[in-house]
Structure 1
């Protein structure tokens, strides 16, 4: 995975900062692969002991909460015109029809949309700005934002990390089995050749 390979080349503190930054910018409404970066960092933590899954989750959770809160402030200050500008700038990700559909969801579901939006790509980008533009009470938004951000960051990191550890252990055992199988085949081939050679040689003098 390209992102995982790139993260492996930077110091751990920089990796945590990258996770927080990308997730935070995505939460502002910018179409960046926040979840992909989080998954890549969690997989890397499962393979590279210098990277802590706890700090990966902390970085993602911080980025999610801060990014959504800034998005809320931008939406509340700039209103719908900010979202329309984003839709024009990124039509492939934030087309007008997607924006209207997401706006209706946030308007009808409120805090539930903010919490659940953390697990859905489009809502992850738009929940904060839309909640601000629709004048959702900030305490309600903040509670849903913090809870959703923490559950998403910790849950995704834990799931990917432990799956990565299990797969890594399974692959390491598989490599030993493969090595033993290759060694067994090599010995069998040598024994077969020796037996065939002995059959072809004439018997020695008594």
Structure 2
């Protein structure tokens, strides 16, 4: 399926990316990261317009997030229970709920790009739990902008060398995940010290 989709990139470009990011944000198995890297490479070669590619990919991702949120809002807890019948989905739903509980609204931001496999389930969960639409949308759009910009930008920067761009993206995300963990640990430590001082 991946090879077939990659072959469509130069022909359908922006429309393909909008549809791919849309369906990916609804938990369908679409290889969006590879498609964005490839499309970025075609943009570097002058076959696609980079601005249109970024906007189309972002529009599809945001529309997918909004659809997932709305489905969660309409389906509520019964939808989450139905999704959780599958053990893999149950684990992703649980991780999404924990991220949103511990990180709050920034958890939505991080599930767009740093913890991307959790993203669609965070959409359903946010809707089912009645999260503020404005807060969900703000953090979601910011996160999707990072995701789209990172992958299309790397594809553009590496001029279509997908393997090199993929390796670099993996390393970069690993570093960012480490920094995020260090930041969270530092925040927890500072908070704990403040509470201790307040008690004393």
TM-score by length of 1: 0.68
Q: 1:37 to 1:19 in 2, by over 3 A?
A: same
Q: Deviations over 1:144-200 (max 9, x none)?
A: 0111112221232122201217x69xxxxxxxxxxxxxxxxxxxxxxxxxxxxxxxx
The answer as to whether partners of 1:19 and 1:59 remain within 8 angstroms in 2 is yes
Distance in 1 (alpha carbons) for counterparts of 2:134 and 2:122: 15
Q: What are the ranges of 5 or more consecutive residues in structure 2 without an aligned counterpart?
A: 163-200
The count of residues paired between Structure 1 and Structure 2 equals: 159
1:65 aligns with 2:59: no
Cα offset, 1:75, TM superposition:
0.6
User: For 2:15, which of 1, 17, 22 is the aligned residue?
Assistant: 17
Q: 1:141 to 1:51 in 2, by over 3 A?
A: same
The answer as to whether partners of 1:24 and 1:64 remain within 8 angstroms in 2 is yes
Distance in 2 (alpha carbons) for counterparts of 1:40 and 1:6: 11
Q: 1:143 to 1:34 in 2, by over 3 A?
A: same
Cα offset, 1:63, TM superposition:
0.9
Secondary structure of 1:73's partner?
A: helix
TM-score by length of 2: 0.70
Q: What are the ranges of 5 or more consecutive residues in structure 1 without an aligned counterpart?
A: 169-206
Cα offset, 1:127, TM superposition:
2.1
**1:98: which partner in 2?**
92
The answer as to whether partners of 2:8 and 2:16 remain within 8 angstroms in 1 is no
Distance in 2 (alpha carbons) for counterparts of 1:100 and 1:126: 9
User: For 1:5, which of 4, 7, 11 is the aligned residue?
Assistant: 7
Secondary structure of 2:141's partner?
A: helix
Distance in 2 (alpha carbons) for counterparts of 1:158 and 1:98: 28
1:157-196 to 2 correspondences below 5 Å: 157-164=152-159
**2:106: which partner in 1?**
112
Cα offset, 1:95, TM superposition:
3.0
- The two structures, once aligned, show a CA RMSD in angstroms of 2.3
